Amino acid sequence: MNLHLHLVLVLIFAGAASSSWARVEPGQLNREVLREQEADRVIKLPGQPQVGFKQYAGYVTVNQSHGRALFYWFFEATTQPERKPLLLWLNGGPGCSSIGYGQSEELGPFFPQKGKPELKFNNYTWSRAANLLFLESPVGVGFSYTNTSSDIRELGDTIAAKDAYTFLVNWFRRFPQFKSHEFYIAGESYAGHYVPQLSELIFDNNKNASQADYINFKGFMIGNALLDDETDQTGMVDYAWDHAVISDRVYGDVKSRCNFSDPHPSDDCNNALNEYFDVYKIIDMYSLYAPTCVEGNSSVSAIRQLPVLHGTAPHLFSKINGWHKKPTGYDPCASDYTEAYMNRPDVQQALHANLTNIPYPWTHCSNNITFWNDSPSSILPIIKKLVDGGLRVWVYSGDVDGRIPVTATRLTLRKLGLKTIQEWTPWYTNHQQVGGWTIQYDGLMFVTIRGAGHQVPTFKPLQSLQLVKHFLANKKLPSGPY
């Protein structure tokens, strides 16, 4: 064999080994896997525009003996799905649907519309950057269910993370062609618990996982995320005062009567907090300057409050109904359109959803989950562990969110004590406009999105797509006009 030919063969085999250690091409799938995938294939939803990418939806069992199954909706990337990473998106609550918020009102391809039995294609869907997977988690949320009623009473962070991990292992067995893709997780709000906890499980289990169950996990990104009880609560009150939402007296009362490190607030503290939350009955806590939904028949308007969910963090504010108020977006009534669409029998049939005839309607946030068993007061030890473990970690914050405001997140990240690599720097979008600011820590990137509320992709779709593209590519956002 001549030297030139030998070199060519070495390069070919080396490239194959590095790029496809577990790659399974669609043409190599066995008959059973193909049958399962085809059973989950969504051919076309009612009112859906014509698209060129594939989508799948259905159930993955996470506990056979209990009859626990999680519902997912998966979209291949709009172009070149075989070359793009896989991104799992999780919404929070706890008890709220990633399909209701993430897919239908934030970053998915299809948005329900007002007064029309049609879906609108979202030009800024994150499936332009990645293969996109939405999961309704834990059981009891959306279409996800259990045949063992006691499971609902045992829910908490630990079970949510374990079930989500089991879901992923089983989902990759159903879709082995995506196992070799780089895998990332993103989410917002209470997903500040879900995402790092699931990331830690993957990180730890990967050390001893067989090749069949190994997940090619690279990092995670969380937005307006609940991370630390003390700083999250301090930041909420400071932000409300800084933005002229509460009076000097209410601010002074909360600061003097409440100890944000104490999980058992006094009556005086609760009275002060009641006054603090009163203002968020008339304006949208999740986006201070957005209108509220005032349509007479609105069932999920911005001022409606969910039942108190006892046991969740932060323990001080979990006693206040306002903690669980449903967020809204540019159209403050968008959640109404989603709820109407997802409860249509023809839509559920097309999605292979509600096969067991769940005895309650689909809702954005579960009315059946009223207790949460475990919720650590701080997620920072997990963040620090995963940063030290070499995972890519980005945290972002829409800066007009009053629920988990940028003030809170800055105080929280300060607690990590990470070295600053690049100081507070503007980043640009639309070539000329400042999209927000970044600060690069040793192992963690923090990004603000100017003018965005709690659900950043809803309020700033162009900027959020730019954000996720840079995160996935591990590139800094542009620090000047371009």
> What is the pTM assigned to this prediction?
0.91
Cα 403 → chain centroid: 15
The predicted pLDDT at position 29 comes to: 85
**Is the Cα dihedral 448, 449, 452, 456 positive or negative?**
negative
Q: Answer yes or no: is pLDDT of 131 > 80.
A: yes
**Average pLDDT of the segment spanning 108-129:** 94
Q: Answer yes or no: is pLDDT of 93 > 90.
A: no
Q: Answer yes or no: is pLDDT of 1 > 70.
A: no
| Omega within 30 of 0 (cis) for the link into 307 | no
**Average pLDDT of the segment spanning 206-221:** 96
- Give one DSSP letter per residue of 194-251, joined into a string: HHHHHHHHHHHHTTT--TTT---EEEEEEEEE--BHHHHHHHHHHHHHHTTSS-HHHH
- The vertex-399 CA angle with 396 and 404, nearest 5°, equals 70
Q: Answer yes or no: is pLDDT of 319 > 70.
A: no
The predicted pLDDT at position 316 comes to: 62
- For residue 316, the 8-state DSSP code is T
Q: Please count the CA atoms within 13 angstroms of the CA of 453 that sit on its side-chain side.
A: 21
The predicted pLDDT at position 331 comes to: 67
N-terminal to C-terminal alpha carbon distance within the chain: 51
pLDDT tens per residue, range 329-356: 456 688 889 999 999 999 999 999 999 9
Q: Answer yes or no: is pLDDT of 360 > 90.
A: yes
pLDDT tens per residue, range 392-445: 999 999 999 999 999 999 999 999 999 999 999 999 998 799 999 999 999 999
Q: Answer yes or no: is pLDDT of 300 > 60.
A: no
Of residues 154 and 24, more confidence is placed in: 154
Q: Answer yes or no: is pLDDT of 14 > 80.
A: no
The predicted pLDDT at position 26 comes to: 61
* Run of H or E residues at 407: helix 406-416
Predicted confidence band at 298 (pLDDT cuts at 50, 70, 90)? very low
CA atoms of 339 and 104, how far apart (whole Å): 10
CA dist 38 → 32, 76, 133, 173, 372 (Å): 10, 14, 17, 14, 36
Residue that is written with structure tokens 């929070």 in the block: 92
Torsion, Cα 387 324 468 243, to 10 degrees, reads -90
Catalytic sites, residue numbers: 189, 401, 454
